[in-house]
Amino acid sequence: MIIGISNKLRSAFIKDKSYRDATFNKNWWQIIFVTSLGVTALVWGARELKWLQSWELKAYDQMLRSRPAEPTDPRILLVTITEEDLAKQGWNLSDNTINQLLAKLDSSQPRVIALNIYRPEQKNLGVGLENPHHIISACLSSSMGRSEIPPPQNFPQENIGYNDLISDIEEDQIVRRALPFSEPNDSKCDTQFSFAALAAITYLEQTGIHADFEHHNFQLGKAIFPILTPNSGSYKGVDAKGYQILLNYRHPHHLAQTVTLTEVLNNQVNPNLVKDRLVIIGTTASSVHPGLYTPYSAASGQATRTPPLFIHAQIASQLLSTVLDGRPLIWYWPDWAELVWLWGWSLVGGILAWRLRHPLLFVVVGGLVLTGLVVICAGLFLQAGWIPLIPPALTLIISGVSVMTYTTHRTQQQTKIIVLQVEQQQEVIEQLNILLQETTATADNTALYDQHSHHNSSAIAPEKSTGDLLLGGRYDISRILGAGGFGRTYLAQDTQRPGNPTCVVKQLMPARKDTKFLQVARRLFTTEAEILESLGKHQQIPELLAYFEVKEEFYLVEEYIPGHTLNEELPPVTSVQSEAFVMEMLKGVLEVLAFVHEHRVIHRDVKPTNIIRSAQDNRLVLIDFGAVKLMQPPTDEKTELATVAIGTRGYAPPEQFAGHPRLASDIYAVGMMGIQALTGILPQELPLDPETGNVMWQNNAEISEELAVILDKMVRYHFSDRYQSAAAVLKDLNQMKNKISASS
């Protein structure tokens, strides 16, 4: 009856892990993909609402300040009117003083003189000069809290430029944009050219380079100045009326050569400093104008406010150096490219969090990645490229934190499930123990469930259902790997996967076949198989590919790891190993144990034959997690097995044979493997200290004191005296390795 039901429901029992893992990984990619899209949309929305604009502009200013200083512009000379000049000449400079200044400068043959001083009442500006047409004057069309100021009465309209400057009023009042041109208006300052742009264009026209507009773009020679839009760069909805461009500042200390009004009037200026230059005249006195904020206002050693004279000089220098020197204009990406940029970094954050899985490690690696982002943005800014920095940093962090939070939650939930499964496992084992104690069969007729053995046997292949050519309708058995009274291990091919990959099939036969025993055994089989499935996600643990039941016998299908057991690398098979080999071996095994112990699972049978050295990548793989291990019924010869005692003599500590294994029990086994490698003596042959019960081994090994202390602590007789976690042992091993590296 039971056999018939088992055969009918066989397909329902088969748990195909390869399918579940593919679905699981696909789900994780979906989680990362959806998270990245959601975070990108969130950050992009915040950006569109201008919530990030202030941060982005501050980052822009910082990158601008961090650039290496360029040489001063050799085409410009600044004549400043300082507080001292005004004190000497009078606070309201007379018309004669201005004309005297112009005459002295004109005698040195400048190419253009640009007077950035309002002279609305002056009717004789430039009178007496041989060529007054190369003099540019200024007017003011509009300014916050200030009325319009007309140009000098005797100056031609084509030699007048408006003196207005624009700042980011909604943010921080900083001047980051220039307005070379604007639509003419009916004001007193009726001109479409800015003061700085007109001065630069007049200068270039004398070299044969003329201004032109093509396809609504301003062009000087071969240089095209793209117009700023409301969403250019990190601006969002900025007032972009007129023809605006981003102002590519030079460092204020390396802008242009400067002289004072008094120096010019006293003939203290070398005429060669004036000849063929664009001479810009303006006041730097804060009593006349308090100045404006620039990206350099926050720089150390720099004045908080900058006189308008220097900002106009920055604009003129930018136009001249772009045309004559090929100095790049600040460029930026279109919206779609910036959106892809943000999404890419959001994906990076999600992938990092998924791969790292540890908050502290994510903070460290994420910090390095953010540093890389800053380096990329700063490097492109050196080439005048302004790409978003703050938004991608936010998408990376938010995506990483979101995925990390989710993975941590999932890991905690998974750990709780595994802990519950382990508790259920112990309950089932106790039930089996009671059932086995009740049996009248001898120990020779009972079997111990185990998923591994390296004993040779001539056991036959597992039985198959009538009409079946394959085990479970899927697995083609090729040869026997090992067998014993507990069951058999086979090498097989999975006929339902592409390429028929090799896998390991482990047949586990119940000790009894009565209904009550099988019900309890089946519960234990399912519980422990699910534990193995969770643990098999680690690269140093074989994956559980499937588990199923056929004719009241249980089967596990695991990933095949080609290679050899660690037993072939240890004495007495080989000679005594070096300290370096032992440290590498300890780290390799402890790293996977740290993962296993994190899920509160105790392996209970760590030994050289249960560790495989992968032939593909040389990694150490831990096998045989005691799946469905049942104790044999008690006999006079094996009274210690009356409790659930699983382990191998020499590698298992006392508390494990007493039926109370701890996490420190696995650490004991790893330590004994290290001692075996160093001494060449099998663990069960090492003498014990009669007073403490600790293993006596150091007289048989040549070893450093640091490693001896670590091994001693790993194999103390009482579990409370040992390391309590694999991570703690790894920490001491790494510190020891660092000391060795520092001293060598």
Q: With 0-12 CB in 10 A as exposed, 13-18 as middle and 19+ as buried, what is 406?
A: middle
- Where do we find the tokens 């043959």? 109
506 is in an annotated binding site: yes
Specify whether the CB–CB gap between 531 and 625 falls below 8 A: yes
Tell which residue, 137, 256, 279, 274, has the closest CA to residue 203.
Answer: 279
Nearest 5°: CA angle at 592, between 419 and 620? Answer: 145
Q: Which backbone phi and psi does 713 adopt, to 5 degrees?
A: -70, -25
Q: How far is CA 37 from CA 50, 53, 157, 354, 392, in A?
A: 20, 21, 55, 16, 13
Which token pair is 694?
């600790």
Nearest 5°: CA angle at 589, between 586 and 591? Answer: 100
Distance (Å, whole) CA 344 – CA 363: 19
- Where do we find the tokens 């003099």? 135
Active-site residue set: 605
Give the DSSP H or E segment for 4: helix 2-8
- Where do we find the tokens 């950050």? 43
Distance (Å, whole) CA 690 – CA 676: 21
Strands of 367-423, DSSP E: 385-386
Distance (Å, whole) CA 200 – CA 11: 85
Q: Which residues contact 562 (CB under 8 A, 6 or more apart)?
A: 614, 615, 616
Which token pair is 162?
């408006």
Strand partners, 293: 174
Q: Which residues contact 493 (CB under 8 A, 6 or more apart)?
A: 475, 476, 478, 500, 501, 502, 503
Peptide bond into 572 cis (omega under 30): yes
Specify whether the CB–CB gap between 63 and 90 falls below 8 A: no
Report the greatest alpha carbon distance in the chain: 132
Please state whether beta strands 135-139 and 112-116 pair in parallel, antiparallel, or not at all (unpaired). Answer: parallel
Strand partners, 484: 487
Letter string b/e over residues 92-108, b meaning 16 or more CB atoms within 10 A of that residue's CB: ebeeebbbebbebbbeb
Annotated binding site for ATP: 506
